[in-house]
Amino acid sequence: MGMPKHNMPTAKLALYEKLITTNSKIKRKGAANPYTPLNGHMFSYLDPSGSLALRLPKTREKSFSRSTRRRCLRRTAASC
């Protein structure tokens, strides 16, 4: 059985896969909705529009947001 079809931009999916290959301990999961787990916890996710979501340690969230000028994605009730 082949991988399910997705509507995300091909170039963004290729960049995501290239990023994953930089660390041999990380394996991509999810055929239609790609993500990467570590120790059973999802820490990156590429949504159908091609936007990348990262789960960062609490100690790094604010500094990452300031340095990249990106807002925190809220998927749960946890605050950022």
CA distance 31 to 78: 27
C-alpha to C-alpha distance for 57 and 12, rounded to whole angstroms: 24
Domain ranges of the chain: 10-68
Q: Is the pTM of this model over 0.75?
A: no
Each residue's pLDDT tens digit, 23-65: 999 999 998 899 999 888 899 999 998 988 888 887 877 787 7
Provide CB contacts within 8 A for 56, sequence distance 6+.
64
